[in-house]
């Protein structure tokens, strides 16, 4: 399954991101960022469905919650950064 990971700078930021998306009807789930995606070694991300990215970015912009980075999963399980 292909999905997006929105990398957040802290757990609190991830919780705010998840809440804003959920209020807008977008299913979101917080998880620890995979090690290869985290510059600092300790970050969290919010997982969303592939079809939800455009709407999610609009919702987050309105809420003042700019994502640090966004990645898409590849079919082989690797990650590729998405230019915003």
Q: Residues for the chain: how many in total? A: 84
Question: Which two structure tokens, joined as six digits, stand for 6?
Answer: 């929105």
**What gap in Å lies between CA 82 and CA 4, rounded to an integer?**
9
> Measuring CA to CA, how many Å separate 78 from each of 9, 14, 52, 53, 61?
21, 22, 20, 18, 27
The pLDDT, as a whole number, for residue 77 is: 83
> Structural domains in the chain?
3-81 (3.30.70.1530)
Whose tokens are 């987050």? That residue is 60
Give the tokens for residue 24.
Answer: 């807008």
Mean pLDDT of the region 61-79: 90
Instruction: Tell me the whole-structure pTM to 2 decimals.
Output: 0.89
Average of pLDDT values for 1-26? Answer: 93
Instruction: Grade residue 39 by pLDDT with cuts at 50, 70 and 90.
Output: low
């Amino acid at each position: 399954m292909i999905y997006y990971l929105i990398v957040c700078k802290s757990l609190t930021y991830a919780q705010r991101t998840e809440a804003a998306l959920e209020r807008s009807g977008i299913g979101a789930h917080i998880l620890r960022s995979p090690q290869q995606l985290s510059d600092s070694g300790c970050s969290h991300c919010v997982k969303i469905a592939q079809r939800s990215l455009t709407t999610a970015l609009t919702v987050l912009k309105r809420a003042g919650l700019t994502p640090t980075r966004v990645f898409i999963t590849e079919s082989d399980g690797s990650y590729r950064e998405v230019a915003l």
